[in-house]
Structure 1
Amino acid sequence: MLLWAALVGLSFPAVGLMGELPPLSLTALRFAIACAGLYLLARRSPAFLPAPRTLPLYALMGLCLAGFFSAMFWAAHHTTALSMATLHVTVPLLAFLLGRGLRVERPGWRLPAILALGAAGALAIAVAEAWQQGGRLAFGSGEAVFFAGCIATALYPVLSRWGLARGVLPESAAVRTFWSLGLGGVLIGLAGLAVEPVARLATMRPLDLALLVYLGLCSSALTFWLMQRATAALTPGVVTAYGYLVPFVSMLLLFARAPERIGWEWLPGSLAVLAAMALLMRRDAATTSAG
C-alpha cells in the first residue's frame, strides 16, 4: 500500500506534464492500456466471462472511473497537482457517506469523525499552498471539475461492495477491475468520438505517449490490482488510511523542486492527516482484536 500511495501521488504531476489533448479520448486509451495489462491475470479466473446481469453494473462502475480520470486530465491544466492530490483525500469520507446511502457501511460516528479529520488536514494543506501563492485559497473551475470526479471515484468501491454483497459480482478482483475498466473505456470512448476533436490525438508527442502508457499500466491497472490484493491481507480501515499519504507524495515532489517553500504553514494539515491515519490504524487493530 506504500507503493500504491506513491503511484497515485505521482500520477497527478505526470498528468500535468501531458499536452492539452481530448480528455475523454485520453481516458479511453488509458483504460485500453490498463485492460491489456490486466488481461492475462483476469483471464485465468473461471468467472472471466461476465453474466448478462452484471453488465449494467460493470458499465456504471466503469463510468465512475471514466468520470474521475476524464476530470483529472482536464483539471491538470486548470489547477495544480498538489490541489488535485489534496482534493483526492476527501474520497474516503465521500465513499463512507455514499456507502451509508446504499447501506453498505455500518452506522456510527467514530469512522466519519476520523475521516473528517483527514479531510480537514487535506484542506489545511491546500490553505498552506494558497498562503505561499498569495494568501488566498482559490476554488475555481479546475478544482470544481476534479471534485466532481472525486465523487465519481468514491462511488466505485461502494458499487463494487454492493454488487459483492448481493452476489452479482465475482470474487476475482482482477475480473471486476478488467470489465469495469473495459466497459467504461468503451462508453467514454464513444462519448469522445461524439463531442471531442479526436484528430488532436495525432498531435500527441512521444512524451505524451510514454506518460499515457505509464498512467494506464501503473496508475490504473497496477494501483487497482494492488488495492484489491491488499484487501485480502489487510483490513479495510488500514487500506483506507494509506489514501491519506497521497498528498505527501506531491508535497515531497514540490519540496524537491523548491525546498525554500518548506515552512510552518504545512505543519497543521500534515499533523491532522497523520493523526487521522494513526487513528484509523488503531481503530482497525481494535476491531481485529475484538473479532
Structure 2
Amino acid sequence: MTSSGITHDPAPARLAVGIVSAGRVGTAVGTALERVGHLVVGCSAVSEASRHRARTRLPETEILPVADVAARSELLVLAVPDAELASLIAGLASTRAVSSRTIVAHTSGANGIGVLDPLTEQGIVPLAIHPAMTFTGHDEDIERLASACFAVTAGDDIGYAIAQSLVLEIGGEPFRVSEDMRPLYHAALAHGSNHLVTLVVDAVASLRAALEGQELLGQELIGDDPNGLAERVLQPLLSAALDNALRRGPAALTGPVARGDVDAVATHLRVLDEVDPHIAAGYRALSLRSAQRAGAKPELLDMLKDER
C-alpha cells in the first residue's frame, strides 16, 4: 500500500526477462511472457537445435552468454534440466552475475527454492514455477501453457504473490506446493505422464501385431509409423478411459481384472509374452496394481504375483 492508498501488483506490468536456456520449456515460457507484455531481453543457447528454437520462437531476442542474460534481467528464468540446475546456480552465484532483487524462477518440478539458496543469499527473490505439462518442441507447447496448472513454491507471501501473478498473466492456474512436498509432487507427475507413454506405446505395439496382415482391401498397411490404424483404434478408447479416471476415480476401472476373470488375464499374459516378454511383464505389474485397487479375489492376486 502506498501513501496514496493505491495497492500495486507485486509483479510489475513489464519485466525484462532473461531465459536460460532456449530449450523446449524456456522458449515456450518466454513466448508466453512476451505475449502478455513482458520483454525477453536475452536468452542463452548452445546447441544448434536450441539456437534454431530461439531464432524461431523469440526472433527479436538476442542470444547471449549466460552471464550477460543474467545481467540484463529483472526476471531470470532458469529452464535447464534438473541435473544441470544446481551447477548453473552455483556458477551464477560464484560470479555474482545476478543483481540483488532480481526475480529468479526455475522451472524444475523436482526442486523447490532450496536449490536457489546460493543466489538467495545474494538478495534475489527465489521462485520455483513448474508447468505441469509435457513439452514436445512444437507450436502446441505454447498453446498448452495457457491451459496448464503451475506448481509454485516461494520463500514468503510476496514471492507467492509474484509467482501467482506471472502464472495468471499467461493464462495458467497456479497452485502451491510446499518445499518438502516437491519430490512427491514430481513423482506423481512422472508416474502419470511418463508411464502413460510407455503403456500406450506397448498397447500400440501389441495391437499392431494383432492386426498385421489382415488389412481390408484398400486399407493402409499396418506399419511402424505413428498415427496409423492401431493408434486410431486406441485413441477414443484411451481418451474415454483417461476422462473416466479423472472424473470418477477408481470406479472407472473396467475389464477382466476388475471382473476378477483369472482365465482371461492368464490368456492375455500368454499372448503378450509371445509378442514381447517385456510387454507381458508390464501388463502383469499393472494388472496386479489394478487388482489391488479393485479388491480382486485372492486367486487373481496370487496368479499375478506368481511370475513363473
| Range into which the TM-score falls when normalised by the shorter chain | under 0.3
Q: Which protein, 1 or 2, shows the higher relative CO under an 8 Å CA cutoff with sep ≥ 6?
A: 1
TM-score (norm: length of structure 1): 0.26
> Highest Rg: 1 or 2?
2
More helix as a share of residues: 1
Q: Which has the higher strand share?
A: 2
